Amino acid sequence: MKRELLAIGIVILILIGLPVGVFIYNRQHTNPDSPERLITIQAAVPEAGGFQPSAIKVTAGETVTLRFTSVDVTHGIAIGPGLGIDLGHVDPGHVQEVSLTFEKAGTYTFYCNTWCSPDHWRMRGTVDVIDPANPDAAPSPYHDPIIEQLVEEGVNIDANTTMDMPDHPQPDVLRFDQPASIEQGHILAASLVIPTELADTEWRLTHTPIEGLALLENNNPSISMSDLINVIAYMWTSDTPPEDIQWAEEYYNKNCAACHGQTGEGNGPAADQTAQSPVAFADFTYMFGMRSDVLYAKIRRGGMGTDMPNFGTLLTPEETLRLVGYLWQLAFKDRPN
């Protein structure tokens, strides 16, 4: 009896749902009076032209439907920064579409987030959102306080850490392959003297774990080095809340793992196509000498004379910081020794 009811319910849902669905579809796409524009964007691997068109213009406040199709292989479609749009895969002969209203003038980027070819990461297009009241306005100058601060400090963010900076600090205590335990560090942190700088999130953003370790050691001379390292591992991973880490893990797996490897070993399936090997974030001796603000700048700007793509036009500053938080997880997360 219950089953029958369920079956009837489903039939009714289909009967009602179908015409409603078609109605919305018609209204959006075939009604010539409809003010909404449908823009079809064809996806092909970058070697065959990438997105066509690759630059579109819309007016702020205008609702447009972007319909993506693929003419060759499976692509993945995302739009950023800060829109949270990930349409998933678009297979050849199928479409993925989204209707959206850009409220503010600015530039957005649609991009492929599925490894589709050696030049995959070049597969990007732009949406220029024009302010109708001021159509010729140049985009407002781009401000990034974190990067501006680094430049002021004289940090060369375009240097390649592993190639151009051979003196990248690696203290003797880290020369052996010592596993760090965030969990043990968390427990121990409560009983140690934590100097004020080290307790400050802002300070940690602009300093390396090595610098933190030195401070911690001075204040807790009787604690073993491996315990101190655990506390540092805990502190550097405590700045990003779990839900942000979850977001970052998903983003990393789609957009970074092909090169840097899913567990951060630097050995993703595309790693042997890059001129320099992608950095291994799981190598915690390397990460002990890195600063969050520098990692942030490198993700946003890419380049450095390597095949590292830039993600500054795809991610908001907040999203980039979440990714940095995830890199610290890859460096320190508890793994079997």
Asked if 274 touches ligand HEC (CB under 6 A), the answer is: yes
161 binds ligand HEC (CB under 6 A): yes
- Phi, psi angle pair for 57, to nearest 5°: -120, 135
Among positions 202-241, residues that touch Cu ion (CB under 5 A) are: none
Task: Report how many residues bind ligand HEC under the rule CB under 6 A.
Answer: 25
Q: Which two tokens stand for residue 264?
A: 């951060």
- Out of ligand HEC, Cu ion, none, which partner does residue 220 contact, by CB within 5 to 8 A per kind? none
Write the binding mask 60 to 79 for ligand HEC: x where contact by CB under 6 A, - elsewhere.
--------------------
Q: Residues 54, 63, 160, 206: which binds ligand HEC (CB under 6 A)?
A: 160
Exposure class string for 253-268: b at 16+ Cβ within 10 A, else e: ebbbbbbbbeebebbb
Contact 326, 245 (CB under 8 A): yes
Residue with tokens 């809340």: 241
Q: Which stretch binds Cu ion (CB under 5 A): 123-131, 196-204, 212-220, 227-235?
A: 123-131
Residue 121 touches which of ligand HEC, Cu ion, none (Cβ within 5-8 Å per kind): ligand HEC
Rounded Cα distance between 43 and 49, Å, is 8
Beta-carbon contacts of 4 under 8 Å, excluding residues fewer than 6 positions away, are none
Cβ 260 to ligand HEC shortest distance, Å: 5
What is the distance between the alpha carbons of residues 286 and 168, in angstroms, rounded to a whole number? Answer: 8
**By the 8 A CB rule, do 44 and 70 touch?**
yes
Give the per-residue contact string, 111-130, with ligand HEC (x = CB under 6 A; - = no): ----------x---------
Residue 285 is a binding residue for ligand HEC (CB under 6 A): no
Q: Which of 276, 283, 310, 334 binds ligand HEC (CB under 6 A)?
A: 276
Confirm or reject binding of residue 318 to ligand HEC (CB under 6 A).
no
**Closest distance of CB 79 from ligand HEC, Å:** 16
Q: Does 180 bind ligand HEC (CB under 6 A)?
A: no
Residue 298 contact partner, candidates Cu ion, ligand HEC, none, CB within 5 to 8 A by sort of partner? ligand HEC
- Contacting range for ligand HEC; rule: CB under 6 A; set: 39-47, 70-78, 184-192, 301-309: 301-309
**Minimal distance in Å, beta carbon 88 to ligand HEC?**
18
Which spans of this chain sit near ligand HEC (rule: CB under 6 A)? 121, 160-163, 255-256, 258-260, 270, 274, 276, 278-279, 295, 298-299, 304, 306-309, 311, 323
